[in-house]
Structure 1
Amino acid sequence: MSGPRVATVITRLQAGAGIVALRGAEALAARGYQVTIIAGSGDRLLDQAGVEVVREPALRAPIAPRDDLVALHRLTGLFTRRPFDVVHTHSAKAGAIGRIAAHRAGVPRIVHTYHGFPFHEFQPLLRRQAYVRIERRLGRITDIALCVGTGVSVEAIRRGLLPPERIRTIAVPVGAEVLPPSPQARPRARRALRLPDSALVVGAVGRLSYQKAPEHFIAAMTALHRPDVVGVWVGDGELAARVQALARAAHPDTRIVLAGERADVPALLPAFDVFALPSRYEGLPVAIVEAMAAGVPVVATAVNAVPDVVRPGETGLLVPPQRPDLLATAIAYLLDRPGEAARLAHAARAQVGARYGAGALADALEAAYQLTPTTADHEESPCA
């Protein structure tokens, strides 16, 4: 007898949200579920996926009314033709279009994962309020919301996006390839990034986007005034040209390497002496947990669910967002105190165990997919 049929819908199968969606889908497939990933983009991960893939090019991240209506029509038709038991959406755009399409098609179970939110404190108030209202209406047709990290769950409850009993917290899955670190991992990673063995390296992983604040990473590297330190950013995105210009214009003593999009991120993490992420807002970044698993001390901004794993002075250091000066101070503190950095890294790695494995994620997904009635209002469309 074949297992439950699940459609995993995501705008871009890339970065942290894409990794969580893909690892969850593959873990469920290993348990006998029939999983189909539906995504607008993300060729690298889509090509690697061990499950059925459906590409929907109209599913794009920017607000584009014509493409959005096309994507809604096509997904509604797909969910009507194919008898999925569960539609599980990820990301804001796919979360809206996918949930409405599943509701219209009468899919028995609708699940959404909040990796973060489309609203944040750096938006104009009216836009932020509009996004909150949209998410509340979508919550009426959502059976279960899975929130990546406690901070995200708390915010979902505080904003009233769904009733509290339909909100659950999950962790990000760490790739098995980063556990455990080996003595050869560091020199191999340095060679892959073409970095000298003797350099001190501060690394970051993420999209070159407003959310991740790569310009603050460059500002922090400049504020260090350390020609012996190399800053490395792994990732690509819409701000690539601007970040490249900032890197070229940085002080001559500031050494910045923009490594671009890479398929081997877990293998590159051991190259770093410090992992630094200056995000303005987040869910719980996969890269932070993987850096911890690789034994790299972490400095990050105190936003959303990041404090779930980065506990100040215990498993890493936290700084306020939009303060590259304080980010630089925290980085220098760890670079100048290797014993303290090792202590934090050891404590951080110790917490990355069963909770951050693909098996734990699969357990959480199976619990969320249980096809039993909830109090979700499936009678009223969020478009009404």
Structure 2
Amino acid sequence: LKAVMTANRYHFVHCHSPIGGVVGRLVARQTHTPCMYTAHGFHFFKGSPSLNWMLYYPVERTLARLTDTIVTINEEDFSRAQTFKTSHTFRIPGIGVDTKRIEAITIDRTLKRKSLGIDSDTDFVLLSVGELNENKNHETIIRAIASLKEPTLRYLIAGTGDNNDHLERLIRELGLERQVTLLGFRDDVIEVMKASDCFVFPSKREGLGMAALEAMAAGLPLITSNVHGINDYSIDGVTGYKCSPEDASGFARAIRTMQLDFDLSHQMGLHNSESVKAFDVDRSKTEMRRIYSQFLQDKPT
């Protein structure tokens, strides 16, 4: 990378991801290249494990000294980055949600639900979208559903990952084969959202959470964890409900409340389809253009 940057003499480098952020900023320092870094969610945050603070926090704090501009995507990270020794710190509304595209997608809800194995109009369909791993925390929702013993609840999980076999075993052990379905990879996620009744997002950590924002744009109420970037848009009692990531009982109560009160969940979904526009992709692009413009003014070529 040092050879590439030396040969091409870039006006500046914009780093992303933890490893790319480390390598890119070290080489930028060695080659005297102006450097910008977007943090797509620090691994240290309120409630995160102590090990995350011991490992990641000192690295980010130290590398901030080598960074001309840090861009964050949630309020907690923005506040933290402002304590670092860097020239400029900005916050953008994530990479942005294409709300117009999502709004334009239409489905035959009955046919779509049938294609997903849901034959009854009275079933209440929960949906999660995300990699099958420990952080996405699908197991907590599966256990919450098992505790409710309500056969009209259906839980769809779209995604692939290392936890697939573990989740399949758990579903069998709890006798939820009819209620919980692992959909695997889907290229029709927005259509599946529009065939669902509620979006569940129990992650232990999220820089922001594009899947939940897309669900809001699709008009769904949310049931989320109360951590990190999710807190930027998930408001308890307004967008839906929030629980601690490991609180299966709390998630169960939220699910049951949402299922029983159609008017409430419907109003929350309508609210979400409007409030999510604060995270629209056009706004993100406008913010990044402004940041690039200021960056280049500060670092003339």
Calculate the TM-score normalised by the size of structure 2: 0.88
Closer/same/farther in 2, CA of residues 242 and 79 from structure 1, 3 Å limit: farther
Q: Unpaired runs of 5+ in structure 1?
A: 1-74, 375-384
Give the aligned partner of residue 152 of structure 1.
Answer: 77
Give the aligned partner of residue 241 of structure 1.
Answer: 165
Structure 2 Cα separation of the partners of residues 192 and 113 of structure 1: 40
Closer/same/farther in 2, CA of residues 221 and 140 from structure 1, 3 Å limit: same
Q: CA deviation at 1:188?
A: 5.5
Select between 80-89 and 227-236 the one with higher mean Cα deviation: 80-89
Structure 1 Cα separation of the partners of residues 85 and 197 of structure 2: 41
Give the aligned partner of residue 10 of structure 2.
Answer: 84
Structure 1 Cα separation of the partners of residues 110 and 12 of structure 2: 45
Matches within 5 A, 1:68-147: 75-108=1-34, 110-120=35-45, 121-123=47-49, 125-147=50-72
Closer/same/farther in 2, CA of residues 161 and 225 from structure 1, 3 Å limit: farther
Structure 1 Cα separation of the partners of residues 215 and 85 of structure 2: 32
Closer/same/farther in 2, CA of residues 119 and 251 from structure 1, 3 Å limit: same
Structure 2 Cα separation of the partners of residues 112 and 192 of structure 1: 43
Give the aligned partner of residue 220 of structure 2.
Answer: 296
Q: CA deviation at 1:356?
A: 2.2
Q: CA deviation at 1:299?
A: 0.7
Q: Which amino acid aligns with 1:166?
A: H
- 1:170 aligns with one of 92, 95, 98: 92
Structure 2 Cα separation of the partners of residues 223 and 181 of structure 1: 35
Stretches of 4+ aligned residues off by more than 4 angstroms: none
Q: Quick check: 1:365 aligned with 2:301?
A: no
Q: CA deviation at 1:253?
A: 7.2
Closer/same/farther in 2, CA of residues 189 and 254 from structure 1, 3 Å limit: closer
Measured against aligned partners, the alpha-carbon deviations of 1:42-64 in whole angstroms (never above 9, x if no partner) come to xxxxxxxxxxxxxxxxxxxxxxx
Q: CA deviation at 1:181?
A: 5.5
Q: Which amino acid aligns with 2:119?
A: P
C-alpha contact (below 8 Å) 1:186/1:270 kept by paired residues: yes
How many residue pairs match? The answer is: 293
Q: CA deviation at 1:113?
A: 1.8
C-alpha contact (below 8 Å) 1:86/1:107 kept by paired residues: yes
Q: CA deviation at 1:210?
A: 2.0
Q: CA deviation at 1:357?
A: 2.3
Closer/same/farther in 2, CA of residues 83 and 358 from structure 1, 3 Å limit: farther
Q: Secondary structure at the match of 2:296?
A: coil
Give the aligned partner of residue 190 of structure 1.
Answer: 113
Structure 2 Cα separation of the partners of residues 286 and 229 of structure 1: 25
C-alpha contact (below 8 Å) 1:185/1:267 kept by paired residues: no
Q: Secondary structure at the match of 1:372?
A: helix
Q: Quick check: 1:264 aligned with 2:264?
A: no
- 1:209 aligns with one of 108, 111, 133: 133
- 2:239 aligns with one of 296, 315, 324: 315
Structure 1 Cα separation of the partners of residues 25 and 188 of structure 2: 32
Q: Which amino acid aligns with 2:143?
A: A
Select between 87-96 and 313-322 the one with higher mean Cα deviation: 87-96
Measured against aligned partners, the alpha-carbon deviations of 1:288-343 in whole angstroms (never above 9, x if no partner) come to 11111101110101111212211111222111221111011101101110100011
Calculate the TM-score normalised by the size of structure 1: 0.70
Closer/same/farther in 2, CA of residues 316 and 97 from structure 1, 3 Å limit: same
Q: Secondary structure at the match of 2:66?
A: coil
Structure 2 Cα separation of the partners of residues 84 and 214 of structure 1: 43
Give the aligned partner of residue 38 of structure 1.
Answer: none
Structure 1 Cα separation of the partners of residues 191 and 6 of structure 2: 42
- 1:352 aligns with one of 266, 276, 282: 276
Closer/same/farther in 2, CA of residues 180 and 197 from structure 1, 3 Å limit: farther
Closer/same/farther in 2, CA of residues 373 and 239 from structure 1, 3 Å limit: same
Closer/same/farther in 2, CA of residues 252 and 188 from structure 1, 3 Å limit: closer
Measured against aligned partners, the alpha-carbon deviations of 1:103-130 in whole angstroms (never above 9, x if no partner) come to 333333x22222212235443x355223
Measured against aligned partners, the alpha-carbon deviations of 1:73-100 in whole angstroms (never above 9, x if no partner) come to xx33333333433322222222222222
Q: Which amino acid aligns with 1:260?
A: G
